Every structure is written in structure tokens, then in C-alpha cells.
Amino acid sequence: MNKIDAKMNGPVPSLETIGHLASTMKVELSTRFLEHFSEQLYSSPQKAFEELISNSWDAGADFVDVRISPQLSNPDATMCILDNGASMDEDGLRDLWHIAFSPKRDNPIQHGRSVVGKFGIGKLATYVLASRLTFICKASDGKIRRVTMDYGNIDRQKGLKADRLISDLELEIFEATDADVKLALAVAEGGEVLLDLISNGLKVDLSDADQASEFGGVKAELTRPKKDTWTLVVLSGLKPTGQALKLHVLRRMLEAALPFGSEMLIRVNGSRLFSSKTDFPVVK
């Protein structure tokens, strides 16, 4: 189904609306903490976006596909990150939104590799980028679940009081089907590519000779579940900071900061990234 066909057949669900309600969870969040943490530490949209790639690394992913709308000022523009990491079941999603809590803190090795995040707050960097943050996850139990954080709702509550602890924020956990995901991706930016990747199990070839090792380092033996798990993160309702993201700056930042080669392959709008470190001679 293409975009035209979808419109002719009536309303089509978006990636942030798919599924049927399965359960709910309570989230406590200080509006002042959210504002200071995200806006002060992540004034760069590229740096805020990088946190999502770090989450893919921590999930044991060795393949990440990023799709960013070419015109970020468009109202329907999105940023999507798909990875083949371990993903999250319902308990994992509850842990995700247990603010300032992270199981990584007491276990710095996850899925066979050292993790980046330890404090459970990096995802809040996305507050500066978008009004809505959606996680769509296929966990090892085979179920597809969706959770959407509406930052716009937090902004409306924040307006009532400058420093407010929102303790009655309720997030809904939805269960979706493969058909739901397929229908929603049919009208999403880069959706056809993402759907093809999901359908084929997000398999990736990391055997390239020039990228086969991290300068002699030993490749981590990943221990994540091998049941076609995946996570799709969608940023929508982009804020001015999100609209200011520069794709070439993001590519350069990711190439300089993250592991590549035999550890993880990253593509941004179809272009594979290569570590900038390969431009330097190996001294030892």
C-alpha cells in the first residue's frame, strides 16, 4: 500500500496510535528537572538524538537504521530509529519510564558489552526535540507493544506551576499486531524501508574487511535473545530544537563518538556511517 492508496481507503493509524490498550503505568516527573536536564545539558539537537543511538548500543544491537524527514519544519515530519537489540517487554517498558532508575547501574555489562547509560534519564533528552516520543517494541515473547510519552501534556501541566511534581501522569501500554505496524509504516517517512528490514529480521553483514575490527580490539560476544526482537523509536511533533537538527552534523558526531566495525552498523537515511578514527594512522 502506498500513501495515496492509504488515504483513499480512509483513516490510517500512525505509529503513535497503533494497538489496543493492554495496561497502564504511573510516572512521576518533576517539571523543573525535566526542563533543566534536557534544555541545559542537551541544547544541541544532535547530542540529544545521540542518546537514542546509545540506547540501541546498550540493548545489544549490532544494526541501527535511522530515518529522518528531509523537511523537519513540516508538521508531519518524524525522526525514526530502528534497531535489532533485545527490546523490551511490559516489565522493560515500566523500567524504561521509572525515572532516574536503571538496571544498568548495578550491571555495567549488558548483552555481552559495556553499557553507556547508567542513570535512566538519557531518554528525557528527547524532550527538547519533539512533543511526542513513541517506543514500539517486539520483545522476546513475540508481542509488539507501544508506549507514547506526550511531552505536550507535560508542558500544559507545567504551565500551571513553575516547579511541579507530576505524580498522576499515566502512560498507556498498547499491544499491536504485525498488520498494525505494516499499515502505519505504509504512510511513514522511510516506512517502506523500515518495514522491509523488520520483515527480513534486521539481518546485517558486518564482515567488511576494512571495518572488521576496532583497531585490534576483541569483538564483544553478544548474548541478546535471537528471536527477531526489535525496537522502533519515533519522534513526532518536532519542536524548534528538533527542527534545527542538521543531518551532516549528526553524521559527523556519530562517526566520531560511537563504536562501529564489527560491533554495530549504523545507517542514516540509507547511508552507512564509518568511524572517523579510520582516517588516523594506528600508532600501536
Residue 64 lies in a domain: yes
User: For residues 204 and 195, what is the distance between their CA atoms, to the nearest angstrom?
Assistant: 15
Residue 1 lies in a domain: no
What CATH code is carried by the domain that includes residue 252?
A: 3.30.565.10
* Per-residue pLDDT, 19: 96
Residue 2 lies in a domain: no
Residue 284 lies in a domain: no
Residue 3 lies in a domain: no
Do residues 173 and 145 lie in contact, with contact meaning Cβ atoms separated by under 8 Å?
Answer: yes
Q: How many CB atoms lie within 10 A of CB 117?
A: 17
Q: How many CB atoms lie within 10 A of CB 209?
A: 6
Residue 4 lies in a domain: no
Task: Give the long-range contacts of residues 30-35, CB within 8 A, separation 24 or more.
Answer: 30/163, 30/164, 30/165, 30/166, 31/154, 31/157, 31/158, 31/161, 31/162, 31/163, 31/164, 31/165, 31/166, 32/162, 32/163, 32/164, 34/124, 34/127, 34/154, 35/127, 35/158
* Per-residue pLDDT, 170: 85
* Per-residue pLDDT, 72: 95
User: For residues 121 and 38, what is the distance between their CA atoms, to the nearest angstrom?
Assistant: 9
Beta partners for 134? 148, 234
User: For residues 147 and 119, what is the distance between their CA atoms, to the nearest angstrom?
Assistant: 20
Residue 274 lies in a domain: yes
Residue 265 lies in a domain: yes
Q: What is the CA radius of gyration of the chain?
A: 19
> Mind listing the pLDDT tens digit of every residue in the chain (284 residues)?
444 344 445 566 789 999 999 999 988 777 666 766 666 666 789 988 998 998 898 888 889 999 999 999 999 999 999 999 989 999 999 988 877 555 555 566 666 576 765 545 677 888 889 999 999 999 999 999 999 999 887 777 665 555 555 656 789 999 999 999 999 998 888 999 999 999 988 876 655 544 445 545 556 666 666 678 999 999 999 999 999 999 999 999 888 876 655 678 899 999 998 877 655 565 66
Helix (H) or strand (E) holding 251: helix 247-257
Q: What is the pTM of this model?
A: 0.84
The domain total for the chain is 1
Question: Distance of alpha carbon 68 from its chain centroid, rounded?
Answer: 12
**What residues make up the domain containing 235?**
12-279
User: For residues 59 and 82, what is the distance between their CA atoms, to the nearest angstrom?
Assistant: 12
User: For residues 62 and 266, what is the distance between their CA atoms, to the nearest angstrom?
Assistant: 8
